Amino acid sequence: MGVFEYVWAGVLAVFLGPEAFSLFGIGVPITLVMVVFGFLLGIVIGATPGLGGPFVMAVSLPILISFFGFTPDALLPVMGFLVGVMKGATVGGAVPAILFNTPGTPDALMTTLDGYPMTKRGNAGKALRTAHFASVSGDTFSDLVLFTTAPFLAIIVESYLGFAEKAALIVLSLSFVAAVVGASPMKGLMAAFFGILLASVGTGEDLYPRMTMGTEFLANGFPLITAVLGVLIMGEVITSFEETWRDRRAARVQNQIPQSDDNSLSWSERKALLPYISVSAAVGTLIGALPGIGSTLAATLGYATGQKMHKGPVKFGDGTPEGVAATEAANSSVSGANLIPVLSLGIPGNVSAVFLILAAESIGGFNPGPSVFRFTTSEVNPELVIAFGLFTTMMCANILNWTIGGQFMRWVGVMSKVPKQVLMPMVFLLTITAVYVQETSFDAIFFLLGFGLLGFFMRKLRVPILPFVIAFILASNLETALRQAFAVSGGDPFFLFRSPISIVFLVLSVVVIVFFMCGKKDEAALSSEVS
Amino acid sequence: MKLGTLKAALVGATLMVSTTTSALAEWQPSGPIKLMIAFRAGGGVDTSARLLAEELTARHGWEIIPENVAGRGGAAMAAKLKDEPADGLTIGMTTTDSLAYGILAAKNPGFALEDFENLTTITGSQTGLISKTDRGWRTLSDVIEAAKGGQTIAAGAMSAKLADALYYIGLKNGVDFKIVMVQGGKGGLNGVVADDLDIAWAAGPQTKGVQAGDLINLVSAEAEPLAVSPDAPMLTEYGIDLTFGTKFGVFSPAGIPSEAEEAITAAIVDIVNDPSSKLNEFISKAFAGPQAIAGADFDTFMETAQASAFELLAAVE
């Protein structure tokens, strides 16, 4: 099969896949239904302050897997749903930022700077339209970069990197994530090492389980999804319980601000926004392709770049559409590019990518990494078809976003008023249910609560969560690559330092850590996107 | 009197037949059946297990939950399966090696053959040592020659037994392979295709690549020639009197109710032997085709496998 046959097979895998129901005799594919459902839900959740894409992804993943089963047919519907949520939440995050000055997602923080002043002037509708237009443009651009870059990067990785280089590359990615997420690279490193430590329990190549302290309880290690949901979601829930308890007297009063009648966004206004959007989209895509940095920094950089370019009468920060556009285009263009390291290297860079990897690993039949993009001609490479199927679902979500996203976004403003004390207990119960559905064992609930407490204390100590999670997921790949590299070298103790490429990777890992330790960082801009 | 005895015997026989058949027909799982898979997603055991699950659901309405419990060459799954309740709601698919050989190779793995009920085998491996065709090697002799000429040969193995086998082949032929443990049945294949490994064991997934001419089977590790490469030399030509093939088998914790054992085994054997089943199609294409060895035959097979594992261990030591 040639390249175009693979692309076409991917498109067909989405549209000719299993049917959900049929409408006037035409089958509606389940994957498409899941994308639509995920996208709309994503907008609603994104518009709800205190919730975000990761919540929905985490809670729905185990439930979706048990619903769709473990056949390769389940991959596209489940991943399509996750993609929909990812994109929906990005757009939705701008809604409360603009309407009520409360960002729905951390990366929408910069959106409040110009979005809320516009609302106060009666231009909420225009601000929302601007945010949507910028967001969807940036997102689409980023996806196109992903589609064209990931296969080539994967092929290069596959042909130039041996075992030692792959191990060194994982070390580099982990150091990068540890260095850039959170306030202190040292705390990031601690989190990453701790993740590797916990992932080592009960695994390994020996015929008996290691680090179990002789217990049967730990013999199979910590289940992956349970551990990730524990630190990411349970930790967050416990933290917000504490916050709610502390802030219980602080009542928020929200006034209705009268809005102007003409809130449309004309074509000439859109055209005027394009330079800001394209610069921000490029910035966001570049940032997104690096693991761990996330959309918050992209938004900040996009906003700063836009500010430098801006020469209009209304200044940035006083409520100018350009400010909203620069921020939204930057933070939205992160999501597609974030999948570049996932698909080409198997290395997740942010939380959404973590859930896509978890989905692939739990369902089976798709192992994100360089081997996905093997364009075999003699036989069909099913993973490549899935990869193009995934791209198709992203394009479907983009089309939805262009067509109905804007309208839907303006309807969900009401979600911003849902109080946290109602939401959090629901998330708490849903997470426990989701884990039980997946593991069907009570041990898993204990693990979940244990990891939840761990996540809570990490947040209290300001130790970033993301390096922990990514290290936990990558630990087994790292160990395998290290063992293989060591074996191939014939037991050479300096096996990691025998090739120039791996030396470069390792030196870069040290440089990254040292660089970020020296530079002072803006904590708000660089804090982990989950906490 | 005689007639009476006959009658009684007849009634008894009828009763017995009807109870056994009804046990077969009536045993229904009281909930979803967990099917543990001892290897990573994407390999031969994994794919067979998932196809088996699909067919069991389609034919019997049983809800089957496949779960990869990969790691430690199948020992992780075995250790977990042993402790599951023996109620027919948990079964495991693994290679017969991982039990027969793994138990001996690890001094104290925490489980023994007696901890499991042998339900049935599914198929046999088509294990060969593979390399890329463009390396120019045609048989294992070429590789041995290259190694003797000073070339380092990185060789992939997915189980402790196959790693020992590589060591043993090297020992008998005066060469030293750099043995690399790979993950799952496809790990070696991926390593060879990506040029990270020179040669690797593959238990069947290499078939398509060999047919396409991209890969070559340098030697057969089975007792018979490989179906896809009938001309590949046998291990006996290299002074090895052991074979390293394995079978995919389904096991349950010891002591499951016999009606559950019979019902599950019968259901699996049916699917394995039915040419229209997806499982049958898959194992015929990539592996040794349907080989359902069940019941007492399977018990004998496992004993023989363990005896030959003893031999290899003794030879390597």
Summarize pLDDT for B266-285 with one digit per residue, the tens. Answer: 999 999 999 999 899 889 88
CATH number for the domain spanning B186: value is 3.40.190.10
B202 and B70 share a domain?
no
Residue B48 falls inside a structural domain: yes
Residue B265 falls inside a structural domain: yes
Question: What pLDDT sits at residue A529?
Answer: 40
B133 and B234 share a domain?
yes
Question: What pLDDT sits at residue B286?
Answer: 78
**Domain coverage including residue A79:** 3-245+274-526
Contact B72 A209 (CB under 8 A): yes
Beta carbons of A43 and A96 less than 8 angstroms apart: no
The structure tokens 């064209």 sit at A148
Beta carbons of B203 and B185 less than 8 angstroms apart: yes
- What does the angle CA A52 – CA A53 – CA A57 come to, to the nearest 5 degrees? 130
Beta carbons of A125 and A114 less than 8 angstroms apart: no
Q: Is B17 exposed, middle or buried (0-12, 13-18, 19+ CB in 10 A)?
A: exposed
Which of the two residues, A103 and A327, has the higher pLDDT score? A327
Residue B23 falls inside a structural domain: no
Q: Which of A66, A159, A208 shows the shortest C-beta gap to B108?
A: A208
Q: Is the pLDDT of residue A236 over 80?
A: yes
B109 and B139 share a domain?
no
Q: Does A266 touch chain B (CB under 8 A)?
A: no
Residue B107 neighbours by CB under 8 Å, 6+ apart:
none
Could you report the per-residue pLDDT of A293-322, keeping only the tens digit for each?
767 788 888 898 888 888 878 888 888 999
Report the residue of chain B nearest A380, measured CA to CA: B208
| A407-423: average pLDDT | 80
Q: Is the pLDDT of residue A449 over 70?
A: yes
Beta carbons of B126 and B228 less than 8 angstroms apart: yes
CA distance A348 to A57: 15
Q: Which residues of A touch B190 (CB under 8 A)?
A: 371
Contact B109 A71 (CB under 8 A): no
CA distance A410 to A413: 6
Residue A254 falls inside a structural domain: no
Q: Is the pLDDT of residue A525 over 50?
A: no
B260 and B116 share a domain?
yes
Distance from CA of B212 to the nearest CA of A (A): 6
Q: How many CB atoms are closer than 10 A to CB B87?
A: 16
**Chain A with chain B: Cβ pairs closer than 8 A:** 101
Q: How far is CA A152 from CA A145, A381, B202, in A?
A: 11, 16, 28
Q: Does A206 touch chain B (CB under 8 A)?
A: yes
Q: Which of A66, A207, A364 shows the shortest C-beta gap to B73?
A: A207
Could you report the per-residue pLDDT of A98-137, keeping only the tens digit for each?
888 877 677 788 888 899 999 888 888 899 999 999 999 9
Question: What pLDDT sits at residue A463?
Answer: 92
Question: What pLDDT sits at residue B271?
Answer: 95
Residue B85 falls inside a structural domain: yes
Region of poorest pLDDT, from A143-147, A366-370, B52-56: A366-370
Torsion sign across C-alpha atoms B93, B98, B100, B103: negative
Q: Are strands A26-29 and B33-37 parallel, antiparallel or unpaired?
A: unpaired
Residue A116 falls inside a structural domain: yes
Distance from CA of B249 to the nearest CA of A (A): 19
B160 and B309 share a domain?
no
Question: What pLDDT sits at residue B21?
Answer: 46
Contact A488 B180 (CB under 8 A): yes
Beta carbons of B157 and B252 less than 8 angstroms apart: no
B139 and B232 share a domain?
yes
* 3 state DSSP class of A388: helix
CA distance B195 to A205: 23
Report the residue of chain B nearest A159, measured CA to CA: B194
Q: Which residues of B touch A204 (CB under 8 A)?
A: 71-72
Strand ranges inside chain B, DSSP E: 33-37, 64-68, 90-95, 116-124, 128-132, 154-157, 178-181, 199-202, 215-220, 247-253
Instruction: Specify the length of chain B in residues.
Output: 317
Q: Which of B53, B80, B212 shows the shortest C-beta gap to A220?
A: B80
B169 and B257 share a domain?
no
Beta carbons of B187 and B108 less than 8 angstroms apart: no
Residue B9 falls inside a structural domain: no
Beta carbons of B186 and B206 less than 8 angstroms apart: no
Q: Which residues of A touch B214 (CB under 8 A)?
A: 378
Question: What pLDDT sits at residue A253?
Answer: 52
Q: Which of A71, A206, A364 shows the shortest C-beta gap to B42?
A: A364
B185 and B208 share a domain?
yes
Model confidence at A256, in pLDDT bands (50, 70, 90)?
Answer: low
Instruction: Specify the length of chain A in residues.
Output: 531
Q: Does A207 touch chain B (CB under 8 A)?
A: yes
Beta carbons of B94 and B44 less than 8 angstroms apart: no
Distance from CA of A406 to the nearest CA of B (A): 40
Residue B300 falls inside a structural domain: yes
Q: Which of B69, B106, B195 shows the shortest C-beta gap to A207?
A: B106
B261 and B115 share a domain?
yes
- What does the angle CA A242 – CA A246 – CA A248 come to, to the nearest 5 degrees? 110
Distance from CA of A232 to the nearest CA of B (A): 23
* Average pLDDT value for chain A: 86
Contact A364 B193 (CB under 8 A): no
Q: Does A488 touch chain B (CB under 8 A)?
A: yes
Q: Which residues of B touch A70 (CB under 8 A)?
A: 50, 53, 65-66
Q: Does A441 touch chain B (CB under 8 A)?
A: no
Report the residue of chain A nearest B47, measured CA to CA: A365
Residue to substitute from A70, A200, A436, interface B, most B β-carbons within 10 A: A70
**Domain coverage including residue B52:** 31-124+247-316
A191: tokens are 């989190």
Contact B75 A204 (CB under 8 A): no
CA distance B68 to A368: 17
A254: tokens are 């929200």
Question: What pLDDT sits at residue B127?
Answer: 94
B17: tokens are 């037949």
Report the residue of chain A nearest B64, measured CA to CA: A69
Residue segments in chain B with a per-residue pLDDT below the cut of 50 = 1, 15-24
Question: What pLDDT sits at residue A417?
Answer: 72
Domain end position, chosen among B220, B238, B256: B238
Beta carbons of B285 and B207 less than 8 angstroms apart: yes
Number of domains in chain A: 1
Contact B160 A488 (CB under 8 A): no
Q: Is the pLDDT of residue A18 over 70?
A: yes
Q: How many CB atoms are closer than 10 A to CB A408?
A: 20
CA distance A85 to A279: 25
Beta bridge pairs of residue A348: none
Q: How many CB atoms are closer than 10 A to CB A266?
A: 11
Number of domains in chain B: 2
Report the residue of chain B nearest A487, measured CA to CA: B180
What is the residue-wise DSSP string for A71-135?
SGGGHHHHHHHHHHHHHHHHHHTHHHHHHHS--SSGGGHHHHHHHHHHHHTT-HHHHHHHHHHHH
Residue B145 falls inside a structural domain: yes
CATH number for the domain spanning B118: value is 3.40.190.150
Residue B14 falls inside a structural domain: no
Q: Which residues of B touch A361 (CB under 8 A)?
A: 41
Contact A220 B79 (CB under 8 A): yes
Q: Which residues of A touch B153 (CB under 8 A)?
A: none
CA distance B221 to B225: 8
Amino acid at A14: V
A523: tokens are 């904590």
Report the residue of chain A nearest B208, measured CA to CA: A379
Question: What pLDDT sits at residue A419?
Answer: 78
B158 and B225 share a domain?
yes
Q: How many CB atoms are closer than 10 A to CB B20?
A: 13
B120 and B132 share a domain?
no
Distance from CA of B26 to the nearest CA of A (A): 26
Contact B212 A484 (CB under 8 A): no
Q: Does A380 touch chain B (CB under 8 A)?
A: no
Q: Does A209 touch chain B (CB under 8 A)?
A: yes
Q: Does A70 touch chain B (CB under 8 A)?
A: yes
B253 and B112 share a domain?
yes
Q: Which of B72, B102, B178 shows the shortest C-beta gap to A204?
A: B72
